[in-house]
Chains A and B, each alone.
Chain A
Amino acid sequence: MAGDKPEILQGTLDLMVLKTLSVMGPLHGYGIARRIEQISEELAINQGTIYASLARLTLKGWIDAEWGTSENNRKAKFYYVTKAGHKQMKAEARNWERISRIIGRVLSLAERG
């Protein structure tokens, strides 16, 4: 049922996590959080919230995880994008573009009015 129609991601965070993983390859939670913080510069997120994103994405089958060893030689869970995740990301990106185009148009309309 969930797969019948394109759904808007729970938040932009999910999309950001997905995008990060697809660009960087397998990463653990800390790595993802750091990367997002670096890219978005001022956006200081509560790092814990990315775990909700990871859980949601895992449930949808867009990402999966394996246990591995982190740079400080600790056991860590590494996430990576699945085939379904890549497909979904393309659709999401299209969707996002469409929405931002509409919003852009509405905003410019508002400016003119």
Chain B
Amino acid sequence: MLDWFRTLASRVRAWGSAAQIDREFEQELESHLELLTEENVRRGMALEEARRAARVRLGGITQLKETNRELRGLPLAETLVQDARYALRVLRKNPGFTAVAVLTLALGIGANTAIFSVVEAVLLRPLPYPHAEQLFFVFQQRERDARVQTGWSYLNFLDLREQSHVFSEMGSNGNHELTLTGRGDPEVVSVADVTPEIFSLMGAKPMTGRLFLPADAKPGAPAVVILSESLWRGLFRSDPQILGSSINLDRRPFTVVGILPQSFRFSARTRSKQLWIPVTQDPLFAQWIPNRGGHWLAVVGRLKPGVTTAEAQAELDTINQRLAREFPGENSGWVIRMTPLGELVVGDVRPTLVMLWGAVGVILLIACANIASLLLARATTRAREVAVRSTLGAGRSRIVRQLLSESLVLGLLGGAAGTALAYWGVHTLGSLLAQNLPQVNPIRVDAAVLGFALALSAVAGSAFGLAPAFFAARLGFAAGLREGSPRAGESRASRRARGVLAAVETALAMALLVAAGLLLRSYSRMSAVSSGFTPENVVKANFSLYSARYSGPQEWLNFTNELLGRLHAEPGLQESALVVPTPIADTSINVVFDIVGFPALAAGSSRTADYAAVSPEYFQMLGIHLLAGREFDDGDVMSAPRVTLISQALARAYFPHEDPLGKQLRFAFGADSDAPRIIAGIVGDVRDVSPGVEPGPMVYVPFAQSPFPGSDILVRSSLDVSAVIAAIRRDVAQMDPDLAVGDVAQLSGAIQSSLAPPRFRTLLLVLFAALALLLAASGIFGVISYSVSRRTQEIGIRVALGASRATILRMVMRETLGLTLSGVALGVPCALLAARLVRHMLYGITTSDPATLSAAVLTLVASAVLAGYVPVRRAMRVDPLVALRHE
């Protein structure tokens, strides 16, 4: 071994300095010639003649140099090229086999490469910020409710930044929407309220102009805005004069100071109509700046190098205690936590991606098993060739290497085709991926992905090449010659190996089928479930009132009352209502509440409910049933006693033994927070988070008692959607031409898109399971078909001896089903394991759902029978005369 390394090392070295070695060799020959010439002169030759004779005795210099170069060259590389060339020739001579193998492999490697490009972009590649690993999301959390990560008030954030020493920089941003006017029609735009440091923290560079300076956040500073490249190109038509010009946001003028390029993305939230303003300038939210109790700014910090997260957390705890001591009203009962920014961005897509990655891994295994089986079958027919070559002097390692390089070439061909497939797949799935994945890093087939595909092809190629090479080596090469016939039987071991491979493929396919089946059934249950309200024919739209004109609750109510009045008067619009927030379509608002007269709960537990402010028509128009008491009516206004409606789930959870009607709740949310509210009625449960999430406790308050500066409008109408939207826009514009109507959608469509993540993963997993099934079926087809052709003679004899077609059918089918059923037996534990792995994604069924399991088994058996059909027909048509003459 050592010798071999030394040889290789010296050859590689020689390769590196070839020119110098050539020169030295020339010199060596030169001195040899001199010595020969001198010897000849000593013998009495004339100098000229002596020189010529010397040259003759030494031989041709050029030829010697050539030989020397060849000898110290890299014979390993040369034989590799030779092997590869031979492999290509063999593959070209068997186009059928090559096509099937390359296609199989292309599917396996293509699926893997495509999913890897997503995994790489979302899970593996660091976020596109300098030293992204130092970036942390710092959030506040109620001690009692560890599920929800909330943001910061501006004042709390300022204290945090000032008191913290473990972070080199901290910045914050809060997202909402404002109305942009002064450029054609009013337009709703996404606004990020930021503190100036956020850009240097994230390493952002402006496309033109400048980013924010600390001075921009000072009170009294002129209002400035940074546009996103897409907003500038779209709404502002790439206006070259944009810098220094003025735009209005909620009627407040802002000067454009810069444009951020498309490539800058802050988490998944960066929208197409995005712009950034200093938080202190916000026309809507700036009024909250003096309020320490709010939780609306997301804070990002860059940890100083060398500081551990434990040290940072310890400091955050200290700051938290100080804040709680100084401002107990706002900060007691809260804790500060931090999490890597990457975690926040990746969030809950990790399990989905890991699942899909596993699925394509299984597909590749099946593909490899398939090709290994094909190669084994071929190895048998090629036994003679191998035997001849080994008799002619090819060493065992040389032959194994030849076989391996054949499968490697196959692997690389498959890899190339697979990469093309992946490229196409990522391209085609692009929009689907974009909707369902955080898009901080672009998803594409790049160098890392190509490297992965190459490594995968090489590993796969040697994996499925090992089996036949192993058998070829074990067979004892002479065997092929001795048996004499080119159709010499396949060895028992190799036949058994092919059977095992087919069974394993079936088992793996079954695991994927069951997982896909479970997700499919979950999804169909999820989408069939009643959300507790009827979204059909309902259009939703959103408006938000700017503070310059709508300064307080009374102005907000004046506007909404007039709007509802106008909408009710529109012909064709059946019903209209206000709601904040719209169930499923909007993010739910969760509040902690107390029951007046009930003892406070122990620390660590709390009463929470989802919250909605609605106008009286709401329940009627969405078909939410009243179960007890009364609904809201026009008398529930500011001056009247505070009332609330509770959902059935809340009544069950918190009033199990008594009548909730007349009891009072108190919750710290909305314009009239902390006022006790009398429970006036109980309404049916509504799924307000997602169709797949069981309805939780819910409270409703009259919009007229807890108004917002803006709301969703729901309108039920049998008119065309565009007509409904036009009517809403017209009514709003008549009241205030500077007010934009945004977020327009059909409610049923919004519910559908809330099901996008489960639909996405279900769709892909079903696709992969189908692929696995196809490959497994082709594996079974290969084994049976080969077995029939091997047994043609035997079948011929049987037919000649009087076996009926039915007998032959039974014989072949028995083999097919035997193979499939042993695969199924092997597959049941695999399937149960796969089901356990996806159990968090299931809805309404158990992991051992018998219907799914039996459907998977039936599908497998059916496709096996189908796969066996062609060889069976061939077996039944065997003509005994032809078969017997065959050899």
Shortest Cβ gap from A2 to chain B (Å): 5
Q: Are A56 and B71 in contact (CB under 8 A)?
A: yes
Chain A hits for B25, CB < 8 A: 51
> Of A4, A46, A60, which is within 8 A of B59 by CB?
A46
Shortest Cβ gap from A32 to chain B (Å): 10
Chain A hits for B71, CB < 8 A: 52, 55-56, 59
Over the window 6-38 of chain A, the binary record of Cβ atoms lying under 8 Å from chain B Cβ atoms (1 yes, 0 no) is 000000000000000000000011100110000
Shortest Cβ gap from A5 to chain B (Å): 10
- Nearest opposing residue in chain B for A59, CB measure: B7
Q: Are B67 and A47 in contact (CB under 8 A)?
A: no
Find residues 47-105 in chain A having any chain B CB closer than 8 Å to their own CB: 47-49, 51-52, 55-56, 58-61, 70-72, 74-77, 84
- Nearest opposing residue in chain A for B9, CB measure: A61
Shortest Cβ gap from B23 to chain A (Å): 12
Main secondary structure of the interface of B (DSSP, over half): helix
Shortest Cβ gap from A56 to chain B (Å): 6
Chain B hits for A58, CB < 8 A: 10
Q: Is B31 an interface residue (CB 8 A)?
A: yes
Shortest Cβ gap from B80 to chain A (Å): 14
> Of A4, A49, A72, A84, which is within 8 A of B35 by CB?
A72
Over the window 1-36 of chain B, the binary record of Cβ atoms lying under 8 Å from chain A Cβ atoms (1 yes, 0 no) is 111101100110000000000001101110110111
| Separation of A7 and B605 alpha carbons in the complex (Å) | 81
Chain B hits for A51, CB < 8 A: 25, 28-29, 64, 67-68
Q: Are A47 and B72 in contact (CB under 8 A)?
A: no
Q: Is A1 an interface residue (CB 8 A)?
A: yes
Q: Is A3 an interface residue (CB 8 A)?
A: yes
Chain B hits for A33, CB < 8 A: 32
- Nearest opposing residue in chain B for A69, CB measure: B31
| Separation of A62 and B4 alpha carbons in the complex (Å) | 12
| Separation of A61 and B7 alpha carbons in the complex (Å) | 7
> Of B1, B28, B57, which is within 8 A of A29 by CB?
B28
Q: Is B397 an interface residue (CB 8 A)?
A: yes
Q: Are A75 and B31 in contact (CB under 8 A)?
A: yes
Chain A hits for B60, CB < 8 A: 48
| Separation of A71 and B35 alpha carbons in the complex (Å) | 9
| Separation of A3 and B6 alpha carbons in the complex (Å) | 11
Q: Is B385 an interface residue (CB 8 A)?
A: no
| Separation of A84 and B6 alpha carbons in the complex (Å) | 11
- Nearest opposing residue in chain B for A10, CB measure: B71
Q: Is B315 an interface residue (CB 8 A)?
A: no
- Nearest opposing residue in chain A for B7, CB measure: A59
Shortest Cβ gap from B395 to chain A (Å): 9
Q: Are A70 and B35 in contact (CB under 8 A)?
A: yes
- A interface residue count range (under 10 / 10 to 19 / 20 to 34 / 35 or more): 20 to 34
Chain A hits for B24, CB < 8 A: 77
Chain B hits for A59, CB < 8 A: 7, 10-11, 71-72
Q: Is B459 an interface residue (CB 8 A)?
A: no
Over the window 29-58 of chain B, the binary record of Cβ atoms lying under 8 Å from chain A Cβ atoms (1 yes, 0 no) is 101101110110000000000000000011
- Nearest opposing residue in chain B for A71, CB measure: B35
- The answer to whether residues A47 and B6 also contact, given A30-B35, A59-B11 and a CB cut-off of 8 A, is no
Q: Are A29 and B10 in contact (CB under 8 A)?
A: no
- B interface residue count range (under 10 / 10 to 19 / 20 to 34 / 35 or more): 20 to 34
> Of A4, A34, A76, which is within 8 A of B28 by CB?
A76
- The answer to whether residues A52 and B68 also contact, given A4-B1, A46-B59, A60-B7 and a CB cut-off of 8 A, is yes
| Separation of A14 and B227 alpha carbons in the complex (Å) | 80
Chain B hits for A4, CB < 8 A: 1
Shortest Cβ gap from A75 to chain B (Å): 6
Chain B hits for A84, CB < 8 A: 3
Over the window 707-730 of chain B, the binary record of Cβ atoms lying under 8 Å from chain A Cβ atoms (1 yes, 0 no) is 000000000000000000000000
| Separation of A77 and B72 alpha carbons in the complex (Å) | 17
Q: Are B58 and A72 in contact (CB under 8 A)?
A: no
Find residues 832-869 in chain B having any chain A CB closer than 8 Å to their own CB: none
Chain A hits for B397, CB < 8 A: 1
> Of B10, B27, B38, B39, which is within 8 A of A61 by CB?
B10
Shortest Cβ gap from A35 to chain B (Å): 13
- Nearest opposing residue in chain A for B68, CB measure: A55
> Of A2, A3, A46, A71, which is within 8 A of B58 by CB?
A46
- Nearest opposing residue in chain B for A88, CB measure: B3
Q: Are B32 and A3 in contact (CB under 8 A)?
A: no
Q: Are A46 and B28 in contact (CB under 8 A)?
A: no
Chain A hits for B63, CB < 8 A: 48
Chain A hits for B4, CB < 8 A: 1-3
Shortest Cβ gap from A36 to chain B (Å): 13
Q: Are B1 and A47 in contact (CB under 8 A)?
A: no
> Of A55, A60, A76, which is within 8 A of B31 by CB?
A76
Chain A hits for B72, CB < 8 A: 55, 59
Of listed B6, B10, B28, residue having the most chain A CB within 10 A = B28
Shortest Cβ gap from A19 to chain B (Å): 20
Q: Are A47 and B68 in contact (CB under 8 A)?
A: no
Of listed B2, B3, B29, B72, residue having the most chain A CB within 10 A = B3
Q: Are A30 and B32 in contact (CB under 8 A)?
A: yes
A-B contact pairs, 24 of them (CB 8 A): A2-B3, A2-B7, A3-B4, A28-B28, A28-B31, A28-B35, A30-B32, A33-B32, A34-B39, A46-B57, A46-B58, A47-B32, A48-B58, A48-B60, A51-B29, A51-B67, A55-B67, A55-B68, A59-B71, A61-B10, A70-B31, A71-B35, A72-B34, A77-B24
Other A-B pairs beyond A28-B31, A33-B32, 15, CB < 8 Å: A2-B3, A3-B3, A28-B28, A30-B32, A46-B58, A47-B32, A51-B25, A52-B64, A55-B72, A59-B7, A59-B10, A60-B3, A77-B24, A77-B28, A84-B3
Pairs A-B, 9 closest by C-beta atoms: A48-B59, A3-B3, A30-B35, A55-B71, A46-B59, A48-B64, A74-B31, A30-B32, A76-B31
